[in-house]
Each structure stands twice: as C-alpha cells, then as structure tokens.
Structure 1
Amino acid sequence: MKASLMLLLAPLVSAAPTVEHRQASQSIDALFKAKGKEFYGTATDQGRLQAGRNAAIIEANFGQVTPENSMKWESINPRQGQYNWGQADYLVNWATQRNKTIRGHTFVWHSQLAGWVNQINNRDQLTRVIQEHIRTVGGRYKGKIYHWDVINEMFNEDGSLRNSVFSRVLGESFVKIAFDAARETDPSAKLYINDYNLDQPNYAKVTRGMVANVNKWLSQGIPIDGIGTQGHLQSGQGNGLAQTIKVLAATNVKEVAVTELDIQNNNSNDYVAVTRGCLEEPKCVAITVWGVRDQDSWRPQGNPLLFDSNYNAKANYNAIVQLLSQR
C-alpha cells in the first residue's frame, strides 16, 4: 500500500480539546507564539498519545511534537530493506490532523542504531545506506516534517568527533552525505545538527565542537539550517544554557532551538531562565520539552517536566506562563 494512502487511512480524532482536559490556565505554546516564536512543544509517541490524558494535554498546551523513539533507526529500519512505519505514521497523522508542528528525530545517530548498520565497513556501502535511509524515511513524510535532526550527538565532550560506525568508515564526510541527502529529499524541511551538554557557553563541546565545525561546514556549502541544544539539565544550569543559546546563534546558522528540555530538581527558575534566553535571542525559534509528565520522563528523578503524575500543571509550567504573560 502506498505511504500516502496509509497515512490517510489513520483514524481521525476530534482535534478540539475540552477545557477540563487542559489542566493548565493557559497554553504556553500560544503565549510563546504571541512573542514571535514558532512553538513550545514536547516529545511523545503512539503509546503516550493513547495513554491517560497525554493527548489532551498536548492538544491544549503544546504546539509541536517530536517522536520520542519511533523514528530512530533501530525502530523504523531494524533490518536492511525492512521499515516499520506503524508508530511513526500514527504520530505524523495525529499531529497533522491537529495542525501540530513535527520535528523529525533522527536520521543519523550512533545510539539506538540498527545492528546491521554497525557491521558495515565499506565507504561506498555505508554512503548508500545513509542515503537510502534518509530518502526512504524523509521521503515518506516529505512536507510534513518541519525540522529534521539530521545528525544527533556526533561530538565528544572535548569537541572532537565521536567514534561511531559513521566516523570510523567515512570520517567527517558523513556530515555532508547526510545533509545533502536530507536537503534533496525534502527541500522545505529545516535541517538541524543536534547535541547534548551544550549548556555552558565556554565548554569545549560548544566552542571547539559545535561552533567551530558548523561554521566550517557551512563555508563548505553543507546545508545546515539550525543547531539544536538538547537541554537535559540539573537545577541551577538554566542561566548557562540561556547564555549558550547566544553563542550558538552567533554562528552562521539561520536558527537555533532547545530541542529536548528537562530539568531535574528545583527547576522553576531554570525553566524561566531558558525560556527567557530563547525570547531574548532572535535566532532562537522554539523550545521542546522531553515529555509531558514527570513519571514518563526518561530520567524521572527530580521531577523534571511541566506536569505531575495527575496531569496537573506544576509550578514551573505556571512560572513560564507568568513570564510569557508579561508585556
């Protein structure tokens, strides 16, 4: 069955959330957009969307979704030539039916990578595999994905290139291979390079890793549109990430975004600091938090998200509302 027909056959659900399911006084997405930004989003997937009040909370309060796992290589392309579309299709259909923006996550990543890819040791073969994977997945969702994390987590903490099958076989040329394939596949999508621990402005992973290399690759004509800083923080690190947003924006990319934000422990001030940091930087277009409820977080210790286990908006959500409600 053709991909377009499969997407059309996904079940339709009313897109109008009821007020009692909002569980928050105001939508941070609507308030953020009123300040000229593109979205305040969250990560989810089919299992989350079909459980509890997750779907209703996202409909009411967030403007964008990132697939938490369903588009990662081991999930969507576990064996060569075999693609598992069900969960990713569900997410894309759910979002497009509700006019929610979608971030695609991720094409090329050393982790959660299908085992068969790790066995490749031939340059030409790995090049073809990367291109085929991007053309197949990106082509299926062409025109529906707003941002693509083309490459994820490629730098070591000292700013050097991470050891992976991609760097071992292809060196840094895999960056051009991946971004060129993504641009060819979906010219309208904004193409990102995404990484974690980009939380301090003078950290080597920021300066010698992301900043230096992205400027170099842009000068070589590689079509990198944006830098994503994930933002997996501890309490007290919000101001550092806010400063780093400016450092990343000072590169020659068109835009930056906070892509996977969660903050452990006493985090209201940190959520406000990160949100303010994005507001104050014109190139910062969006923020995505990595989940809805604390208990569903990939690192639930320290209650890192914006809603509690009963889907009640927490103090940090309300602190963001207060910030965004200021003139």
Structure 2
Amino acid sequence: MLSLLVPVLLSLNVLSSPHEARQSTTLKAAASPRYFGAALGAGHLSNVSDPKFAEFGAAQFSGATPENEMKWDFTEPEQGVFTFDQANQVAAFAKANNQILRGHNLVWFSQLPDWVETLQGNDLLNAMNNHITTVMTQFKGQIFAWDVVNEPMADDGTLGPSPFLTQLGSGYIQTALTTARKADNTTFLYINDFNTEGVNAKSDGLLSIVQSLKALNLIDGIGFESHFIVGELPTDIQTNLQRFADAGVDVAITELDVRMTVPPSAADLEQQTKDYATVINACKAVSRCRGITTWGITDLYSWVPGTFPNMGAALLFDDSYNEKASFTSTINALLS
C-alpha cells in the first residue's frame, strides 16, 4: 500500500552543498526526503490581488493541506448535498506542483453544519459513514493521508465532548476509521490533535487508543498539531513522537506555528528561531516522522490574531512575505 507515493517524496532535491543550501534553498528542498507543507486556503490561492501566496506555496512547499475546504461544513453543508469546488482547487494546485496532499478532516466536533448536530443515534451513524465514504471516494488516489478523526481527546486523557461521542459512544473513532479504510485503502489514516506534543495525560490517553486501533490495522499515523506559544514548547517532543512511532504508527507535525504577543519583541523573535529548530530536530530524530506542515504561509493570513487577541507573528514569513529569522533557523535545522 502507498508505494505510489514514494517517488513523490524521493523526487524532492536537496542542494549538494550545505553552505550553499543555507543561503538559497527552499523549505521543501531542505526537508527532503520528508515533506514540508503548508495549509493552503483556496481563496488565497485564487486571489489575483496577492499572487505571492500561490507563488510561495509552489516554490517553498512540497505538501499541502486544505485550510478549511475539506471540512464538513464546506463539503456537505446540507445533508446529502456535497460540494467540492474549493477542495478541488487546493487538490489541483497540489497536483500541479508535485505536492503531497493531506486530507483535513472528516470527523470533528467543530465546523459542523447545523443539521449534523440535530441527528441522533443511527441517523448520525449513517450520516457519518456516508460523509466519510463520499468525501474519500471523491479524492481517492489524490490524498497522501487523511485526518479521519480530528481533536477527539480531552486534556485529562479521556475522549472530549462531541456529538459523535454523545450519540455513538466511544466506539465512534473505531467506526470512522473502519469506514475510512473501506472507502480508500490507498491512503494513510490519521488521528490529529493538539496539546499532545509532549508526554502528558492527553497524549497518554491518545497513545492507549492508538495501541488498540493499531492491533486492528485501523490506524497508520498520528498528527501533532503543534500550535505553540513562544518559549513554551514541551521539553520532551522527541521522546513523545518516538513512543508513538514505537507503537507502530507514523507521526507528523501537522499545523505548526509559534505565536507571540504583538508587536513582537526582539527576544521573542529570537526565541521563536529556537522553537522552530526544536520542532524540526525532534521530527528529524524520529525515523517515522513523515513531515512537517505549517498552518499557513504568511503572518498576513494567519488564524492566530483572530483567535488569540494581541498575538500573532507565528509563521516563517512576515506580512510582506519576507523570510523571518525563524525561516533561517528552520532551514539550518533541516540541513544540519
């Protein structure tokens, strides 16, 4: 399974001279044979007033994740009525630029259309299975990995609240993955979550679930979102990634950004360089870490300011697409 994806990963070139590469290489070249991706919004890709977004998306990144376009409220806003125009746009961009495409996501408690939350029992079960099957069939053969279940965990290591847990019980994760495996057995199946990057109660609970699912051949990987605050990274990221790898699954950094209070201080910007390097080095040290994705390209469109007031400057390129010091530290870590 998935042998067709190997040439894509191996086709990414690394410059022969580390010194030369540090001066001029791209993220995708420096990361090879791992991928280095970004979340790409269809609206940004098609924005003729800002062609740099698509230009940088193609030049710097070997992976793409639709920012919102494959989520339930985008793909099935009315029950049984599917729309894929915006998701297809991101998929086409990835294909045109020889990028691997991560599917994000199928089952999540958030960004659900209202009609989903009114369903009970078998009605929700049938709707979930139909949604998974229809969306995965639409993109079959195009997706490197699917975030089948997104953010299922609570901080204490139990399952967090969601309509799926309430109506279907804890088995909804296994059911979703079983349906996904039947829908497309050529793609990696992932669970994706946040605040699981270090060893803690939440990642302990997730690991226990992974071990059970792996025994049933229902899971291939875990995505660690990695939405960090500058200077507050867990000290045991590598250890945690390795213990999931040791459980027999691939791991990936899926939504990386490192936010800070804005306007940023020189000290915070300097710390950000170290934080990005820490994440890169942790992934590189774990052979089953398949790649890294930042949640966006430029600070200009980052989700952070709209979610965390007075915070931002979280990505590798500033509002004008200038390379930040954290870009340089990321390149150097990838090449070291």
- TM normalised by structure 2 equals 0.85
Structure 2 match to 1:71: 70
The residue number in structure 2 matching 1:227 is 222
Could you list the per-position Cα deviations for residues 178-199 of structure 1 after superposition, in whole angstroms to 9, with x for gaps in the alignment? 1111111111110000001113
Q: How far apart in 1 are the matches of 2:60 and 2:198?
A: 29
Alpha-carbon distance in structure 2 between the residues aligned to 1:241 and 1:175: 25
Q: Percent identity?
A: 36
Q: Distance in 2 between matches of 1:302 and 1:167?
A: 33
Secondary structure at the counterpart of residue 81 of structure 2: coil
Tell me, in whole angstroms, the C-alpha distance in 2 between the residues paired with 1:143 and 1:216.
Answer: 27
What is the alpha-carbon distance in structure 2 between the residues aligned to residue 87 and residue 145 of structure 1? 15
Please say if residues 130 and 177 of structure 1, whose CA atoms lie closer than 8 Å, have aligned partners that are also in contact: no
Give, in whole Å, the separation in 1 of the partners of 2:191 and 2:335.
31
Aligned residue among 212, 234, 259 for 2:208: 212
- Counterpart Cα distance in 2 of 1:235 and 1:227: 23
How many residue pairs align between the two structures?
A: 295
The answer to whether residue 81 in structure 2 is matched with residue 82 in structure 1 is yes
Partner in structure 1 of residue 165 of structure 2: 167
What do residues 144-165 of structure 1 show as CA deviations (whole Å, max 9, x unaligned)? Answer: 0101000000011001111211
Q: Secondary structure at the match of 1:94?
A: helix
Structure 1 residue 222, shift from structure 2 partner: 4.7
CA shift in 2, pair 1:240/1:296, >3 Å: farther
Partner of 2:194: 196
**1:256, distance to aligned residue in structure 2 (A):** 0.4
Q: Please report how far the alpha carbon of residue 223 of structure 1 lies from its aligned counterpart in structure 2 after TM superposition.
A: 1.1
Q: Distance in 2 between matches of 1:260 and 1:234?
A: 13
User: Residues 105 and 148 of structure 2 are in contact (CA less than 8 Å); yes or no, is this contact kept in structure 1?
Assistant: yes
The CA RMSD measured in Å over matched residues stands at: 1.4
Report if aligned partners of 1:192, 1:228 keep a CA contact under 8 Å in 2.
yes
What is the rounded CA distance, in whole Å, between the counterparts of 1:113 and 1:48 in structure 2?
23
Q: Does 1:177 align with 2:175?
A: yes
CA shift in 2, pair 1:269/1:30, >3 Å: same
Contact 2:252–2:290 (CA under 8 A) maintained in structure 1:
yes
- In the alignment, which residue of structure 1 is the partner of 2:154? 156
CA distance in 2, matches of 1:316, 1:242: 20
Alpha-carbon distance between aligned partners in 1 of 2:222 and 2:145, rounded to the nearest angstrom: 11
Partner residue of 1:305?
A: 315
What is the distance in 1 between the residues matched to 2:197 and 2:189?
21
**2:127: which partner in 1?**
129
Match of 1:32 in 2: 31
Residues 66, 103 of structure 1: 8 Å contact kept: yes
- 1:278 and 2:280 equivalent? no
The whole-number CA distance in structure 2 between the counterparts of 1:324 and 1:97 is 25
What CA distance in whole angstroms lies between the structure 2 residues aligned with 1:285 and 1:91?
21
2:251 alignment partner AA = V
Correspondence 1:320 to 2:330: yes
Give 1:46's match in structure 2, choosing from 22, 42, 46. 42
Return 5+ residue gaps in structure 1 as ranges: 1-23
